[in-house]
Amino acid sequence: MKPTYTVVSFSGGKDSTAMLLRMMEIGEHIDEVVNVDTGMEFPAMYEHIDRIRREVESAGIKYTTLRNDKTFEYIMLHQPIESEKFGTHYGYGFPTPVIRWCTRHMKLDLLNKHFRDLKEKYDLVQCIGLACDEFKRLERPGNNQPGHRHPLVEWGWSEADCLEYCRTRERERLDPAIRTVQQGVMLVLSSCTHIGTPQVVGELPGTVVQTSGMGGLYER
């Protein structure tokens, strides 16, 4: 019989942050925290992730960062791609809500390989930071595999609850990302499928915005 091994998937967003910190706060056993670095997060996000990493390691918990050997820019613009329809071309182009290659290449492939390796030795429990009101995401088969656990759902925590927990727990020491929005203006990017490029679509002072597909502590 394999020993149980509990892994927390930590993206740096408000939900996984709240899940991880609350699990640590109430003394739940965690063997490893896993983060995937896309190389394309906001500087404030990297500050936040690094601070959480230090807190996790100070608690004696293993912290693992996964990275693709190829950069986001290379895959987007330069990677050779063979296609029966289009022949040989280079790069997948800017990701859109429909063609989200970045999620697979920069996150899921790395996570799945890491978890496959762990499953050879352990009975893996993967804690995923989906809030109880993310109904569509919770219904996806990929989020309901054997060994998956959703602590936020168990606690009845919504996305708003997670954001409030982060704000309350960290106060002004919370992530520069949130402070930046509270103090000024954040530009909102939209992936426009009809032109395939990002556009600045507005400025939302006092609003925390989540960027699609790129991770982030930016909630609407």
- Domain annotation for the chain: domains and CATH numbers: 4-178 (3.40.50.620)
Give the integer Cα–Cα distance in Å for 189 and 44: 16
Strand 62-67 to 80-83 pairing = unpaired
pLDDT in tens, 112-142: 899 999 999 999 999 999 999 999 999 988 8
pLDDT in tens, 60-91: 999 999 998 887 786 777 778 888 777 887 77
Confidence of residue 193 (pLDDT cuts 50, 70, 90): very low
Give the integer Cα–Cα distance in Å for 219 and 51: 20
pTM: 0.73
CA Rg value for the chain: 18
